[in-house]
Chain A
Amino acid sequence: MAIIELQGITKTYKESSVPVHALRGIDLSIDKGEFAAIVGPSGSGKTTLLNIIGGLDRPTNGTVRIDGTDISTMKPEELIDFRLHHIGFVFQSYNLIPVLTAKENVEFVLLLQNVSRSERDQQAMDVLARVGLAERAGDRPSELSGGQQQRVAVGRALASKPSFVLADEPTANLDSTTAESLLDLMEHLNRDRAMTFVFSTHDPRVMKRARRILTLEDGMITSDARQDEQRP
């Protein structure tokens, strides 16, 4: 069953005198449980596509359906609420709130969902245990390594129980060992909990793990390849 469906998506930026066509007619469908990577050279439109799937940007034309709901016509406040309940985000630079502890960063999404204090506490600790950081719950981001911060970011993305997680270059700032470890975690979550992951990446380590690779060039999908799982 498709949880992400894009039809005829175009995106044109008209901020300069020459319009920039970032996406030129994307049709895409991603099913529940997929572990997909969007790859392509810089400027190919990966980030724009990810923003549109994540409801952070609107397409110039076309429709975006998430869990069967057309989000391309939603009002900004409705979109924020939709993101809160349906989409998890992992960013390249972790983007944790520096003044909150690891647990509070995870808990914050639950606060936004108006989950009660006791439930928040329980669920945040469960999620931290799942990403292997229960013992670092009280540490602030500055006290954690890059890999640990990205694990907390994955935990934050999972805490809201989203339909899928969008990860924008999640391993770009990590060393090789840490990146592999993070990918192990995400692969494990994908396999055991059927969590759908969509990456945008340049990283060959991610491409190697992804079971579906969408190649984007000049705003168009030029290849959509499925590959068997390969263990490093």
Chain B
Amino acid sequence: MLFGLAWRNVWRNRKRSLVIMTAIALGLSGGLFAVGVFVGIAESMVDSAIDRNLAHLQLHSHAYKANAVINNDLPNAGLLIDSLKQLRTVRGVSGRGVFDGMASSPTANTGVQIIAVNPQDEAAVSSIGRKINEGTYFEEVRQNPVLVGRKLAENLDLRLRSKLVLSFSGKDGSIIFVACRVAGIFETESSLFDGGTVYLRHEELTGLTGGEKLVHEVAIRLQSAEQVSETLASVSVMFPNVAVESWKDLAPELKLSAELTGVTMLFFLGIILFALLFGITNTMLMSVMDRVREFGVLMAIGMKRARVFNLIVLETLILSLTGGVIGGIVGALIVRTFASVGIDLSAFADGLSAYGISAVLYPFVPGEIYLQLSFLVIVTAVVAAVYPGFKATQMKPARAIRAYT
């Protein structure tokens, strides 16, 4: 009955209640959309980095971790890769030769990272094959096909089938030169990556290094991102002499960015609710002052102050949660709509690619944000009810009954 009374009291001044409920709903739906955009940005940075070349887990020799030179390759990499492919959680494994070198075109040269891959294995681990927007994935060029990033192509004035000379130190310290032709030009979300990476097939590298297959890095893609910790633990046990790291260890700045986004967004929603708190308090205070006589009567006939206070809290909760639920639903619908069609930010593509962010953004609000938001709305309502509730309980029944309200 007390809930019924509170509910009906909320609707006594329909216009006033609707105004504050609309304010709460607008504030929260706007806030949720903003959260969705920022989480979407953070997710885009993480996802595109994992997709591009980071993968979920990477294995290196400890020597390579200390000094990333061509000599510090992983011994018995073939066996290691075969074992990893057997794991239930693993979707793909790619053994990569990764070392620094120089790329020279007839017009310019620049330092690059050369990544030697088995195209089929790499396709199961990274999205590089799908990022080729000119040419093919190592096809249609017979001898020494390479993939270059769009930015590198621009810097070295390269086109499809252009000649490119790669030079790097061999294991014996000699300089190896190899003439290649551009088979494909890729464009990822990161202009930094695109400007300094060349993909080469393993079979070419093996030919250049005297028949030895050099693997410096084993990249593992899992069935789900949720399996990272579990797989990291089991792979570390399987290969105790190898450095096993997750994407969070390999790119701590991405981990920090993802974690900070969650905290920042909660803080952001907190600020919105803090501003709404004053509006809710004001509405409830007006409601209490409109009912001075009624509170006087309630206390005269035997309603204890604690119960009067609870009635105000209940009314505030109804007001806030109704607005909050509407805001949550509207916000979720907006996020869902944009999550399916995406937000086209191609006008800012250059700036975004410098940070590895996709030009089409897909907002996303994690489920726990809704839970945390519900908790925040409840806390806000209770805090907003304190002052009006206190005012109501401080009324003197004899005087309040005679109030002209």
Contacts and interface: CB of A to CB of B under 8 A. Distances in A.
Q: Do A and B bind each other?
A: yes
Nearest to B305: A77
Interface string B386-405: 00000000000110010000
Interface in A155-179: 156, 160
Interface string A61-105: 000000000000000110011011100010101010111100010
B66 interface: no
Given A57-B398, A97-B5, A99-B12, A112 B300 contact: no
B8 interface: yes
B19 interface: no
B297 A85 contact: no
27 contacts: A51-B398, A56-B397, A76-B305, A77-B304, A77-B305, A80-B302, A81-B302, A83-B301, A84-B301, A89-B297, A89-B301, A91-B297, A95-B293, A97-B5, A97-B294, A97-B297, A97-B298, A99-B9, A100-B5, A100-B8, A104-B1, A108-B1, A109-B301, A111-B2, A112-B302, A112-B303, A160-B302
Interface in B1-36: 1-2, 4-5, 8-9, 12
A70 B304 CA distance: 20
Nearest to B296: A95
A34 interface: no
A99 B302 contact: no
B302 A54 contact: no
Nearest to A96: B297
Contacts of B294: 95, 97
Given A80-B299, A99-B9, A112-B307, 20 more contacts: A56-B300, A56-B401, A57-B398, A76-B305, A80-B305, A83-B301, A83-B302, A89-B301, A95-B293, A95-B294, A97-B5, A97-B294, A99-B8, A99-B12, A100-B8, A108-B1, A109-B302, A112-B301, A112-B302, A156-B301
A141 to B, nearest CB: 11
Given A109-B301, A111-B1, A91 B401 contact: yes
A160 B304 CA distance: 15
Contacts of B2: 111
B401 to A, nearest CB: 6
Nearest to A97: B294
Contacts of A104: 1, 4-5
A159 to B, nearest CB: 10
Nearest to B297: A95
Instruction: Give the interface size bracket for B toward A.
Output: 20 to 34
A217 interface: no
The CB with the most chain A CB atoms within 10 A, among B293, B299, B300, is that of B300
Contacts of A98: 12
Contacts of B398: 51, 56-57
A199 B300 CA distance: 16
B372 to A, nearest CB: 34
A56 B9 CA distance: 25
B1 A80 contact: no
A95 B401 contact: yes
Contacts of B304: 77, 80-81, 112
Nearest to B393: A76
Q: Which 4 A-B pairs have the closest CB atoms?
A: A84-B302, A99-B8, A56-B398, A95-B297
Nearest to B307: A112
A107 B401 contact: no
A76 B119 CA distance: 84
Contacts of B1: 104, 107-108, 111
Interface in B282-301: 293-294, 297-301
Given A56-B398, A57-B398, A112-B307, A99 B301 contact: no
Nearest to B308: A80
B330 to A, nearest CB: 28
B1 to A, nearest CB: 5
A215 to B, nearest CB: 22
B314 to A, nearest CB: 13
B98 to A, nearest CB: 73
The CB with the most chain B CB atoms within 10 A, among A51, A81, A93, is that of A51
A89 B4 CA distance: 24
Interface in B135-155: none
A84 B12 CA distance: 26
Contacts of A107: 1
The CB with the most chain B CB atoms within 10 A, among A93, A99, A100, A112, is that of A99
B16 to A, nearest CB: 15
Contacts of A77: 304-305
A106 B307 CA distance: 18
A164 to B, nearest CB: 14
